[in-house]
Amino acid sequence: MFFECLCLLSLGATLSFAQQNCPGYTASNIQQSATGLTADLTLAGEACNVYGFDLTNLTLTVEYQSGNRLHVLIQDQNQSVYQVPTDIFPGPESLPSASASNSNLRFAFTQSPFSFAVARSNGETLFNTSGNPLVFENQYLNVRTSLPDSPNLYGLGEHSDPFRLNTTNYTRTIWNRDSYGIPAGTNLYGAHPIYVEHRGGSGTHGVVFVNSNGIEVKINDTQGQYLEYNTLGGVFDFYFLAGPSPVEVSQQIAEVVGLPANIPYGGLGFHQCRYGYRDIYEVAGVVYNYSQAGIALETMWTDIDYMFRRYVMTVDPDRFPMAKVRELVNYLHAHQQKYTVMVDPAVAYQPNTGYGALDSGIQQDIFLKTSNGSLYTGVVWPGPTVFPDWFSPNAQTYWTGQFDSFFSSETGIDIDYLWIDMNEAANFCNWPCSDPQGYAEENNFPPDPPPVRNSSPIALPGFPADFQPPSSSARVKRQDNAGLRMGLSGRDLINPPYQIRNAAGSLSNKTINTDLVHYNGLVEYDTHNLYGTMMSNHSRNAMLSRRPQERTLVITRSTFLGAGTYVAHWLGDNISDWPHYRISIAQMLAFSAFFSLPITGSDVCGFGGNTTELLCARWMMLGAFYPFYRNHNELGSVSQEAYRWESVAESARRAIDIRYRMLDYFYTAVYEQTVDGTPSLNPMFYVYPNDSNTFGIDLQYFWGSSVLISPVTEENGTSVDIYLPQDIFYDWNNGFTPVQGSGTTVTLYNVDFQTIPIHIKGGSVLPLRARSANTTTELRKQPFQIVIAPGTDGTASGSLYIDDGISLEQAAISYISFSWDGSNFSMNGTYDYSTGVNISQIILLGQRSAPSGAITGDQYFPVAYNSTSQVASVNVSIPLTGDSSMRFGQVASYIGNAFALGTNLYLAATALLLILVAAQNL
């Protein structure tokens, strides 16, 4: 093993102020081993002290952790500088077999001034800091890598910028923020300092930066292309991931940040929510109207409206009396539907009023405090509030206790899933927020609730007879809920010398003060970006404590690296307009493919502002191909439940029908992501990594790895330009007719407002349910239909994972591989979960002539054939209890010339005509 000096020349790029003026470091005491090296790094000259003071002594630790992962850690020698706590971000372990000699990556460095490079074993440089002195100060760190010209860079979330990142004059700020409207060019709710660089044929790699301080990534091409990290603290903690395929990069990211949590099958159903349901009767009315409209509603949600004056862990006794909420939940459960509500972290500061969530939090000492020991107070929905300190040793006990009583199945709201919000943490009150009470009063927090309904009862057939508003508004008593790497001292924790471009202004503005000290001594300045993920973790544990045998689904707003191991994420407060409809695709792709957080989605039909009928019709269809599918709306906006317009109702019915028929296919993809990080949504370049036309595509994507979704994206439009790579596809909306892609853009015309273009990629076998259903519980009782979509080589494969969809620990699962070799369909796998349903049909696409029959064992089945769509199908009854195969006879070369959209007609070279001898077996 040999570490050569790359001795790269400085590229002459414009250096930042700090880089020009700082001396960099010199490496000494270099100790090499089979698995890496260590060295001391000493400040190479006079301190520059540009944004604080330079640290004199650092250490470098390089570890080859697996064949495709290299860890580079540059920390202060004393390890006094804050580092992300390992109980929150454990990080990956080295494989025992890992060593420099069997790694696909190479680490090289120059001693003085110290710089390092990471290259592939074939010599291709991926990351190279030479020419740019490392800056490591107490409140500012800087490292810059040069990159090839016009690189294809992705990630660095959370943001709403173009999917493929700008490479010129581009700043990406990472500092979690309550970011209404999710404006482009700003920092949003989550912190995922991960980038993926795709270089086409020569491969894809990833870089994970484990750092929870405020970060500004700058990407620029002035005199040489570079990417540079500026961070307000922490250490240089990098994982370099070799890929080389995009999917492998996603898998390697998942190894670093953690595999995503399993979700309940029902979580993939359709959800309805809004902010501004005036009372429980209106919520019940929505459930009723969905049922009347014949639109499958899986989960009904309630925003903060249900709370008494927006206090968490309370209900509004007039509008959402507990007894009535419980009745609604019982009704939903009896109809196989589910209920979810929102919980915020901030607890109303209303001392001496018998408010249990506050009193027990004070008693258990779990709230954040100021330096003089008093409770830190900000302003959120309920007015003045205090904030849980998730680092407090009692925080979990407190939170679980609140959940156990308020969400008790016996006496409380028996929610099925959970929604957590405002956990950046959001604080309405501007820093320094010296008068929370005054601010709350001036700004009307909590806002006045809507007048209590006093009208005559609403008749809701099917609901309990007394499900009507009370005649008087008798106040019910409110629910009683008895229920060392610590960071350098001497830093300016409010106004650090280097200012990142936080869209909220100074670091502490609109959030918790960054100079607060947590229970364990860590400061908010260092841990701000962890707040939402720590709430997520605590909330997940609290949900699991309520139903210990069951998986849960927690939807959070704020996230950090690894949040997917606990929770799912909705993409925040978007706006009801076309740009937000479009950007939602890039956002969810980034979370699924790059951040190892598969269950995401934007508010369907848009949150803020007023939607339009046509936008909502399109969005109900696009949302059907989000992992998390929820219509949600803001207080004061026009109603947008799918049944409000017949055109939208019909688009919803049709889209849900398709989603549900594909639900097991997608559930399988999500399962596979939980096993090894293979993304369940795929950007087009993931599937066609050598086709440079796909690298910038962010309006089409693969749902799973086989179903290409190409929504109409223009206002009022009924046509869409879509890119079809050189491959065979099958048009879902046109009876599975084959379409030959030729690596060009084609225009689809007359796409009506109830249709979303969907193409199945050749080479796939899709397990579908034969019919949709009103709930996912009913869906699971439907038989399967297997769609075989042969690829250009005539073969196809796919998989199906089935479990009970509910249990945390599965007693039995089935995991089945399907394959098609051109004439034989076969399935192999494990069949331990008893589905109680069979495969009722096999549909074979792209058949230029009719197979005369199909045979399995000694049974012969006639084949129906549609020569227009070239689809052959056979009705069968194959139980999902064991391996099986079926042979199709006279299977012509399937691949089309007649149907080609593009120019190059492809004829399968060698298609054997298989003469079926079925008759002999009859």
Ligand X SMILES: *[C@@H]1O[C@H](CO)[C@@H](O)[C@H](O)[C@H]1NC(C)=O
Specify the residue, 618 or 769, whose C-beta has the smaller distance to ligand X.
618
Cβ 58 to ligand X shortest distance, Å:
9
Q: Which stretch binds ligand X (CB under 6 A): 214-222, 246-254, 387-395, 670-678?
A: 214-222
Distances (CA, A) of 91 to 30, 88, 231, 238, 257: 25, 9, 20, 11, 6
Which residues are known catalytic residues? 421, 424, 573
CA geometry: angle 902, 903, 904, nearest 5 deg: 110
25-33, strands of its sheet edge to edge: 25-33, 36-43, 57-66, 69-76, 236-241, 204-209, 192-198, 152-157
Per-residue burial over 581-604, b = 16 or more CB atoms within 10 Å of its CB, e = otherwise: bebbbbbbbbbbbbbbbbbbbbbb
Q: Which stretch binds ligand X (CB under 6 A): 159-167, 173-181, 665-673, 851-859?
A: 159-167
C-alpha radius of gyration, the chain, whole number: 29
Report residue 883 as tokens: 């391996």
Report residue 392 as tokens: 């407090």
Judged by CB under 6 A, the residue of 20, 56, 719, 877 near ligand X is 56
Q: H-helix or E-strand containing 359? A: helix 356-363
Structure-token match 């309550």, residue found: 178
Report residue 736 as tokens: 């599975």
Cβ 57 to ligand X shortest distance, Å:
4
Specify the residue, 52 or 321, whose C-beta has the smaller distance to ligand X.
52
Cβ 351 to ligand X shortest distance, Å:
27
Residue with smallest beta-carbon separation from ligand X: 505
737-741, strands of its sheet edge to edge: 681-683, 701-703, 707-709, 758-761, 727-731, 737-741
Three-state DSSP state, 439: helix
Structure-token match 């007394």, residue found: 466
Nearest in space to 56 (alpha carbons), one of 37, 31, 78 = 78
What phi-psi label fits residue 391: left (phi over 0), alpha (psi between -120 and 50 degrees) or beta? Answer: alpha
Return the residues of window 429-468 that contact ligand X according to CB under 6 A: 430-431
Judged by CB under 6 A, the residue of 29, 122, 222, 245 near ligand X is 222
Specify the residue, 184 or 917, whose C-beta has the smaller distance to ligand X.
184
Report residue 328 as tokens: 């609604």
Specify the residue, 463 or 581, whose C-beta has the smaller distance to ligand X.
581
Specify the residue, 146 or 481, whose C-beta has the smaller distance to ligand X.
146
Judged by CB under 6 A, the residue of 400, 481, 637, 737 near ligand X is 637
Return the residues of window 901-920 that contact ligand X according to CB under 6 A: none
Cβ 170 to ligand X shortest distance, Å:
5
> How many residues line the site for ligand X (CB under 6 A)?
27
Q: Which stretch binds ligand X (CB under 6 A): 215-223, 586-594, 648-656, 838-846?
A: 215-223
What torsion, rounded to 10 degrees, do the Cα atoms 347, 349, 352, 353 define? -70
Cβ 167 to ligand X shortest distance, Å:
9
Specify the residue, 439 or 688, whose C-beta has the smaller distance to ligand X.
439
Judged by CB under 6 A, the residue of 28, 716, 745, 834 near ligand X is 716
- Provide the 10 A C-beta neighbour count for residue 777: 18
> 131 and 29 in contact (C-beta within 8 Å)?
no
Structure-token match 């630790």, residue found: 61
x/- letters, 504..543, toward ligand X (CB under 6 A): xxx--xx---------------------------------
Q: Which stretch binds ligand X (CB under 6 A): 503-511, 560-568, 705-713, 739-747?
A: 503-511
Distances (CA, A) of 463 to 19, 327, 411, 453, 459: 69, 9, 20, 18, 8
Cβ 56 to ligand X shortest distance, Å:
4
Cβ 474 to ligand X shortest distance, Å:
33
Cβ 625 to ligand X shortest distance, Å:
23
Specify the residue, 504 or 874, whose C-beta has the smaller distance to ligand X.
504
Helices (DSSP H) in 624-762: which residue ranges?
A: 646-661, 663-676, 684-687
296, amino acid identity: A
Q: Is 638 in the site for ligand X (CB under 6 A)?
A: yes
Q: Which stretch binds ligand X (CB under 6 A): 46-54, 121-129, 502-510, 667-675?
A: 502-510
Q: What is d(CA 450, CA 381) in angstroms, rounded to the nearest whole number?
A: 15
Specify the residue, 121 or 169, whose C-beta has the smaller distance to ligand X.
169
Q: Which stretch binds ligand X (CB under 6 A): 143-151, 190-198, 250-258, 499-507?
A: 499-507
Specify the residue, 381 or 578, whose C-beta has the smaller distance to ligand X.
578
Return the residues of window 862-891 that contact ligand X according to CB under 6 A: none
Helices (DSSP H) in 590-704: which residue ranges?
A: 613-623, 646-661, 663-676, 684-687
Specify the residue, 162 or 470, whose C-beta has the smaller distance to ligand X.
162
922, amino acid identity: L
853-856, strands of its sheet edge to edge: 859-862, 853-856, 884-888, 824-831, 814-820, 796-802, 764-769, 784-789, 838-844, 871-879, 864-866
Taken in order 63, 68, 69, 72, the sign of the CA dihedral is positive
Specify the residue, 510 or 632, whose C-beta has the smaller distance to ligand X.
510
- Provide the 10 A C-beta neighbour count for residue 675: 15
Return the residues of window 595-624 that contact ligand X according to CB under 6 A: 609-610
Q: Is 715 in the site for ligand X (CB under 6 A)?
A: yes
Helices (DSSP H) in 716-852: which residue ranges?
A: 776-779
Specify the residue, 79 or 169, whose C-beta has the smaller distance to ligand X.
169
x/- letters, 798..837, toward ligand X (CB under 6 A): ----------------------------------------
Q: Which stretch binds ligand X (CB under 6 A): 309-317, 473-481, 498-506, 782-790?
A: 498-506
> 330 and 338 in contact (C-beta within 8 Å)?
no
Judged by CB under 6 A, the residue of 10, 20, 31, 57 near ligand X is 57
x/- letters, 5..24, toward ligand X (CB under 6 A): ---------x----------
Cβ 46 to ligand X shortest distance, Å:
14
Cβ 171 to ligand X shortest distance, Å:
4
| Complete DSSP assignment for 52-108 | S-B-SEEEEEEEEEETTEEEEEEEETT--S----TTT---PPPPTT--STT-SEEEE
Specify the residue, 101 or 222, whose C-beta has the smaller distance to ligand X.
222
Cβ 319 to ligand X shortest distance, Å:
21
- Helices 578-589 and 613-623 pack at an angle, to 10 degrees, of 10
414, amino acid identity: D
Q: Which stretch binds ligand X (CB under 6 A): 63-71, 164-172, 369-377, 742-750?
A: 164-172
Cβ 557 to ligand X shortest distance, Å:
19
Per-residue burial over 213-236, b = 16 or more CB atoms within 10 Å of its CB, e = otherwise: bbbbbbbbbeeebbbbbbbbbbbb
Q: Is 360 in the site for ligand X (CB under 6 A)?
A: no
Strand partners, 198: 152, 204
x/- letters, 60..99, toward ligand X (CB under 6 A): ----------------------------------------
Report residue 880 as tokens: 């999902």
Return the residues of window 165-204 that contact ligand X according to CB under 6 A: 166, 169-171, 184-185
Q: Which stretch binds ligand X (CB under 6 A): 216-224, 444-452, 587-595, 783-791?
A: 216-224
Strand partners, 69: 66, 241
Cβ 608 to ligand X shortest distance, Å:
7
Q: H-helix or E-strand containing 125? A: strand 125-128
| Contact residues: ligand X, CB under 6 A | 14, 56-57, 161-162, 166, 169-171, 184-185, 218, 220, 222, 430-431, 504-506, 509-510, 609-610, 637-638, 715-716
